[in-house]
């Protein structure tokens, strides 16, 4: 069984724990879910995907409705369907889309303060786009990973990095075949520093080649990051 999940905000318990608890109470047995990816505390997901094995007579729509009845208000199951027994939400994922939202206006965005990161603007989007061009493609992104003990390959392919501004909001969109721990937040921090003139766009290849986390930019706060899509 696989389910599409949307989340907002952050609760005292993990989203995984809440889902497993509700599903376990419904089925009468322990349920372990596997998400397409782990998100840091404070990060949001519009379309997280989770897979699990369940012994129940309820149809997929009934499972969805049961979950939404008992989950807290900041977690919702968008859809639920029967999957191949070998399907794994993380291992079978082919690509993901993330968005990072920055608020550069002088007046705080009080209504979406949990979903945007305030930043003292303005930002030079042209410089950020030039920097992003160097970061697009297949590279070793170890310099953009916060996990110093990561043993597996840190090579990833970033298909596209888009930047646009709508009023006081600057949005960065990342599309790739996978992302390392804190990678999108560090990529964003590095691009923001380029937009502030603190580093040149032409510095990006050297940062990638260094494989040194200290050479890349800051790790941006979590609340501006949203998992938008998981592709299979």
- Catalytic positions: 40
Residue whose entry in the numeric block shows the structure tokens 């964003």: 188
Which token pair is 163? 């930047």
Q: At what angle do helices 15-27 and 60-70 cross, to 10 degrees?
A: 120
The residue written with tokens 């998992």 in the block is 227
**Phi then psi dihedrals of residue 71, to 5 deg:** -75, 155
Tokens of 45: 């997901």
- With a CB cutoff of 8 Å and minimum separation 6, the contacts of 155 are 138, 139, 140, 141
- Beta bridge mates, 75: 7
Question: CA 100, CA 39: separation in Å to the nearest integer?
Answer: 13
Task: Find residue 52's DSSP bridge partners.
Answer: 33
Rounded Cα distance between 104 and 102, Å, is 6
E strand or H helix that includes residue 135 = helix 125-135
**Nearest-angstrom CA–CA distance, 215 and 186:** 11
């Amino acid at each position: 069984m696989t389910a599409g999940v949307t989340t907002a905000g952050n609760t005292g318990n993990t989203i995984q724990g809440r889902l497993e608890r509700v599903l376990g109470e419904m089925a009468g047995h322990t349920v372990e879910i596997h998400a397409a990816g782990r998100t840091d505390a404070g990060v949001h997901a519009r379309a997280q995907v989770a897979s699990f094995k369940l012994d129940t007579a309820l149809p997929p729509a009934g499972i969805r409705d049961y979950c939404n009845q008992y989950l807290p208000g900041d977690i919702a199951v968008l859809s639920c369907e029967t999957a191949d027994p070998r399907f794994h939400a993380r291992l079978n994922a082919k690509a993901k889309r993330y968005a990072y939202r920055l608020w550069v206006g002088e007046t705080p965005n009080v209504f979406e303060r949990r979903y945007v990161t305030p930043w003292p603007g303005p930002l030079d989007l042209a410089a950020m786009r030039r920097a992003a061009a160097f970061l697009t493609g297949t590279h070793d992104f170890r310099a953009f990973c916060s996990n110093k003990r990561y043993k597996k390959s840190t090579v990833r392919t970033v298909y596209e990095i888009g930047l646009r501004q709508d009023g006081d909001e600057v949005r960065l969109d990342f599309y790739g075949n996978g992302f390392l721990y804190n990678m999108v937040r560090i990529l964003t921090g590095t691009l923001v520093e380029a937009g502030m003139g603190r580093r040149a766009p032409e510095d990006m290849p050297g940062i990638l080649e260094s494989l040194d986390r200290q050479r890349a930019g800051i790790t941006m706060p979590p609340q501006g990051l949203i998992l938008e899509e998981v592709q299979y």
